[in-house]
């Protein structure tokens, strides 16, 4: 079984089934040229017949993706041959890769980029009418996830998706080529926000990476609306997101690729939180702000970083009256865009990096009996910088510092051992274990195994502009007061309306009853109203509940559940809550937070799911190429689109022009089928060994 590509006569193994032009009866443009006396390709300028892969790597820096608009890849080869065009690789629905041409040659597939690109045709019947008019077409579409509609180059187009086997093979090809083509970058054209551009790009010939034919010609739309660019990027760079804990019977986010499956997984985490006793977003049962959510999980279960970042603060301390005060704070970056004035006048969107944070609170105390291999990497490395970590343990008889119980800060392993908040700069990867589930509750009787997780940002503006993503996010009125009570209409009114809708007239709340009972808030979150679902996308601004400067007296005077009968009872609560007040002046300065303790909060399940589906937003500036999106191309796109309509163009094939696969009428190829060759019948990984 062949698993290699032929590149300048050398075999490059990719670990996937490849049918090369060297095999008997396989698609072969060299043989077609010999038999028909016709050219289908040309020599690459600067790459001679005896040149090796090193020379090719100096010339080629681009991969162009096409959909073939045929029922299978061998049919695609026959159509290319009949039209006098070529492509380097054809990827079948079952993942089989056909290579009818050495990458040394210039395939005729995309006009003026042929000499420095690799052409790949992905099998995908793009003709919507054919797919919907026959039972075979409908089955074909169903096997690829159905129909997808999107706007590409200004036009609404519909097509099918691709198979997982095709994505796996494409990723394997790109990874292998990147090793021999050093100028090839592993990203498609992205806009300033990190989204894949869905139109022709300016200066497309200088783009380094993989792109679609749509990016080269304005009348093209391949590889189509059903192509999952994010799936390819995840395959190339890994999954950059995790949920902080694993739920029984629920797949890990690391193994989820599609948007639909991501939403199903997210729903399991929403339910886990909302069916719990407390810890909802964005308010608690006491109607005070709650920056995150509680996930109900078994004590001691691993807690993982949700994204790559830098650990900036940690605390490891024994349980106190209310539970586990240990935590880890991680700083992250994402891609965003901002309007930048240009020297010559006008504005331009430029990519920028913005900072966000994830907090993991109520982590289990790591005692002296915790095996070294179970201690998180940050713990071991902090100790290794000062002493032999194998010999350092939390000392028996650990005691809280007397007097004020708010955690102090430090920077050393000794500070960690005595329960202080340690400020640090420790890189962490998505999925890395950073701690273990602890406990929390307002009393010993109400304590439960859980982990508090929150995601937030700071600054005058939120992490992104919610109005640009109304399908997911909604910014609500900011609460910049010094207390924790969530008494704004956009929080209170939806709960009020939902509760009243389900009650008889005599039990309905009165309009002036702005303070809700804990049971009413719990009923709201455990119901199935649209209002509750909307809360998952709220972007809120308020003082953090972890602030050491929060006005608890004002909160206590108003909110249900915070009314103490005596001064002593109030003082007892403050004393018990003090070990959780980590957000002090030193921590704020080190982590880059705001001195006023204000934060923008986002539901962590919604945010991580959104990042997962919008993969490009997590790229850093080094991974991003600028200068390829230009609104000045609009008129050109309109002209090319109008021309294509005059020609009766229906999509799919690679464009008109010299050495560029031209638009082809349906009758020429879209119902073309070939007799079955033996190697077409095998599934990926099942080919017989030669």
Which of 237, 263, 288 lies at the terminal end of a domain, its last residue? 237
Q: Which long-range contacts (CB under 8 A, 24 or more apart) does 561-567 make?
A: 561/285, 561/286, 561/287, 561/518, 562/286, 562/288
Whether 563 and 441 map to the same domain: the answer is yes
pLDDT digits (tens, 9 = 90+) for 591-615: 999 999 999 999 999 999 999 988 8
Give the model's pLDDT for residue 678.
34
Task: Let me know if residue 228 belongs to a domain.
Answer: yes
**Contacts of 204 by beta carbon, 8 Å cutoff, 6+ apart:** 113, 211, 215, 216, 628
Which of 587, 606, 627 lies at the terminal end of a domain, its last residue? 627
pLDDT digits (tens, 9 = 90+) for 37-47: 999 999 999 99
Whether 305 and 159 map to the same domain: the answer is no
Residue 113 in this model has a pLDDT that exceeds 90: yes
CA distances from 580 to 2, 300, 321, 326, 652 (A): 60, 20, 11, 8, 59
Task: Let me know if residue 363 belongs to a domain.
Answer: yes
**509 vs 350: which has the higher pLDDT:** 350
Q: Which of the four pLDDT bands, split at 50, 70 and 90, describes residue 334?
A: confident
Whether 510 and 606 map to the same domain: the answer is yes
User: Would you state the structure tokens that stand for residue 544, as one six-digit string?
Assistant: 């953090």
CA distances from 511 to 283, 515, 524 (A): 20, 10, 17
For residue 245, with 0-12 CB atoms within 10 Å meaning exposed, 13-18 middle and 19 or more buried, which class applies?
buried
Cis peptide before 687 (omega within 30 of 0): no
Whether 537 and 513 map to the same domain: the answer is yes
**72 vs 650: which has the higher pLDDT:** 72
Task: Let me know if residue 682 belongs to a domain.
Answer: no
Whether 448 and 383 map to the same domain: the answer is yes
Residue 423 in this model has a pLDDT that exceeds 90: yes
Task: Let me know if residue 395 belongs to a domain.
Answer: no
Rounded to whole angstroms, how far apart are CA atoms 113 and 585?
56
Task: Let me know if residue 671 belongs to a domain.
Answer: no
Q: Which parts of 497-611 are beta strand (E)?
A: 538-543, 598-602
Whether 105 and 202 map to the same domain: the answer is yes
Mean pLDDT of 311-330: 96
Residue 443 in this model has a pLDDT that exceeds 80: no
Residue 17 in this model has a pLDDT that exceeds 90: yes
Task: Let me know if residue 394 belongs to a domain.
Answer: no
DSSP state of 211: E
C-beta separation of 434 from 304 below 8 A? yes
pLDDT digits (tens, 9 = 90+) for 652-665: 344 434 455 433 33
Residue 398 in this model has a pLDDT that exceeds 70: no
Residue 668 in this model has a pLDDT that exceeds 70: no
Give the model's pLDDT for residue 520.
87
Whether 204 and 303 map to the same domain: the answer is no
**Contacts of 409 by beta carbon, 8 Å cutoff, 6+ apart:** 415, 420, 421, 422, 423, 584, 586, 587, 590
Rounded to whole angstroms, how far apart are CA atoms 527 and 275?
9
**264 vs 506: which has the higher pLDDT:** 264
Residue of 353, 556, 325, 609 whose CA lies nearest to 459: 353
Share above pLDDT 70 across residues of the chain, in percent, rounded to a whole number: 80
- Specify which residues 335 forms β-bridges with: 353
Whether 171 and 317 map to the same domain: the answer is no
Give the model's pLDDT for residue 613.
86
Whether 231 and 263 map to the same domain: the answer is no
Task: Let me know if residue 675 belongs to a domain.
Answer: no
Residue 280 in this model has a pLDDT that exceeds 50: yes
Q: Which of the four pLDDT bands, split at 50, 70 and 90, describes residue 477?
A: very high
What's the CATH code of the domain at 156?
A: 3.40.80.10
Pairing relationship of beta strands 309-315 and 421-428 according to DSSP bridges? antiparallel
Pairing relationship of beta strands 62-67 and 117-122 according to DSSP bridges? parallel
Which of 237, 269, 293 lies at the terminal end of a domain, its last residue? 237
What crossing angle do the helices spanning 604-613 and 259-274 adopt, rounded to 10°? Answer: 170
pLDDT digits (tens, 9 = 90+) for 86-109: 999 999 999 999 999 999 999 999
pTM: 0.77
Whether 28 and 94 map to the same domain: the answer is yes
Q: Which of the four pLDDT bands, split at 50, 70 and 90, describes residue 400?
A: very low
DSSP state of 516: P
Q: What are phi and psi of 522, to 5 degrees?
A: -65, -45
Mean pLDDT of 132-146: 87
Whether 380 and 473 map to the same domain: the answer is yes
Give the model's pLDDT for residue 539.
98
Largest CA distance in the chain: 100
Residue 577 in this model has a pLDDT that exceeds 70: yes
Give the model's pLDDT for residue 288.
87
Give the model's pLDDT for residue 685.
28
Give the model's pLDDT for residue 624.
66
Q: Which of the four pLDDT bands, split at 50, 70 and 90, describes residue 504?
A: low
Residue with tokens 């080919």: 687
Instruction: Output b/e per residue, 524-548; b: 16+ Cβ within 10 A.
Output: bbeeebeebeebbbbbbbbbbbbbb
Residue with tokens 């070294």: 372
Q: How many domains does the chain contain in total?
A: 2
**522 vs 629: which has the higher pLDDT:** 522
- Averaged pLDDT score across all residues of the chain: 84
Domain residues for 168?
A: 4-237
pLDDT digits (tens, 9 = 90+) for 482-500: 777 887 888 888 988 888 7
Whether 52 and 143 map to the same domain: the answer is yes
Task: Let me know if residue 683 belongs to a domain.
Answer: no
Evaluated on CA atoms 193, 195, 201, 207, the torsion sign reads positive
- Specify which residues 598 forms β-bridges with: 543
Mean pLDDT of 512-523: 78
């Amino acid at each position: 079984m062949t698993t290699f590509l032929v590149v300048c006569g050398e075999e490059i193994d990719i670990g996937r089934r490849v049918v090369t032009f060297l095999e008997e009866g396989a698609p072969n443009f060299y043989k077609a040229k010999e038999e028909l006396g016709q050219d289908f390709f040309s020599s690459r300028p600067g790459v001679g017949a005896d040149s090796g892969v090193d020379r090719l790597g100096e010339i080629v820096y681009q991969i162009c993706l096409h959909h073939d608009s045929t029922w299978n890849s061998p049919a695609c080869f026959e159509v290319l041959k009949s039209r006098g065009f070529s492509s380097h690789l054809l990827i079948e629905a079952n993942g089989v890769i056909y290579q009818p041409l050495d990458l040394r040659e210039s395939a005729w597939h995309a006009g003026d980029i042929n000499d420095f690109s690799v052409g790949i045709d992905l099998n995908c019947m793009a003709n919507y009418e054919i797919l919907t008019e026959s039972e075979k077409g409908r089955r074909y579409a169903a096997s690829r996830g159905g129909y997808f509609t999107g706007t590409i180059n200004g036009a609404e187009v519909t097509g099918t998706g691709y198979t997982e086997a095709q994505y796996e093979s494409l990723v394997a090809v790109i990874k292998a080529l990147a090793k021999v083509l050093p100028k090839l970058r592993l990203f498609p054209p992205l806009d300033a926000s990190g989204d894949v551009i869905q139109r022709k790009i300016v200066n497309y010939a200088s783009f380094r990476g993989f792109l679609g034919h749509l990016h080269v010609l304005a009348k093209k739309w391949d590889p189509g609306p059903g192509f999952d660019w994010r799936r390819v990027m995840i395959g190339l760079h890994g999954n950059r997101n995790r949920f902080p804990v694993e739920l029984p019977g629920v797949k890990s986010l690391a193994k989820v690729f599609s948007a639909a499956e991501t939403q199903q997984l997210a729903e399991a985490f929403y339910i886990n939180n909302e069916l719990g006793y407390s810890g909802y977003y964005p308010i608690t049962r006491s109607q005070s702000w709650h920056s995150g959510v509680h996930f109900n999980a078994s004590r001691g279960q691993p807690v993982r970083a949700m994204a790559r970042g830098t650990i900036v603060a940690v605390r490891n301390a024994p349980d106190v009256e209310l539970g586990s005060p240990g935590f880890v704070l991680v700083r992250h970056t994402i891609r965003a865009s901002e309007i930048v004035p240009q020297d010559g006048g006008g504005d331009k969107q430029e990519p920028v990096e913005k900072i966000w944070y994830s907090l993991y609170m109520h982590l289990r105390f790591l005692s002296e009996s915790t095996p070294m291999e179970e201690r998180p990497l940050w713990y071991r490395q902090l100790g290794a910088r000062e002493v032999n970590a194998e010999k350092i343990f939390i000392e028996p008889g650990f005691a809280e510092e007397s007097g004020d119980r708010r955690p102090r800060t430090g920077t050393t392993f000794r500070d960690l051992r005595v329960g202080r908040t340690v400020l640090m700069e420790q890189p962490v990867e998505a999925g890395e274990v950073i701690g273990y589930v602890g406990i929390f509750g307002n009393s010993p009787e109400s304590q439960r195994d859980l982990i508090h997780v929150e995601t937030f940002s700071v600054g005058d503006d939120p992490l992104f502009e919610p109005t640009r993503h109304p399908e997911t996010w909604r910014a609500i009125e900011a609460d910049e007061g010094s207390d924790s009570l969530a008494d704004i209409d956009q929080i209170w009114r939806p709960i009020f309306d939902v509760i009243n809708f389900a009650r008889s007239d005599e039990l309905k709340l009165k309009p002036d009853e702005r303070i809700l009972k804990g049971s009413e808030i719990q009923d709201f979150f455990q119901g199935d109203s649209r209002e509750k679902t909307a809360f998952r996308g709220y972007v809120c601004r308020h003082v953090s509940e972890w602030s050491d400067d929060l006005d608890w007296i004002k909160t206590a005077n108003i909110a249900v559940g915070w009314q103490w009968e005596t001064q002593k009872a109030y003082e007892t609560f403050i004393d018990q809550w003090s070990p959780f007040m980590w957000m002090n002046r030193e921590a704020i300065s080190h982590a880059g937070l705001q001195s006023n303790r204000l934060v923008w909060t986002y539901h962590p399940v919604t945010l991580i799911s959104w990042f997962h589906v919008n993969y490009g937003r997590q790229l850093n500036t080094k991974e991003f190429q600028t200068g390829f999106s230009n609104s000045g191309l609009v008129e050109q796109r309109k002209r090319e689109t109008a021309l294509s309509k005059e020609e009766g163009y229906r999509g799919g094939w690679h464009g008109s022009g010299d050495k560029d696969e031209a638009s082809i009428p349906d009758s020429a190829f879209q119902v073309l089928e070939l007799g079955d060759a033996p190697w077409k019948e095998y599934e990926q990984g099942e080919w017989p060994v030669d």
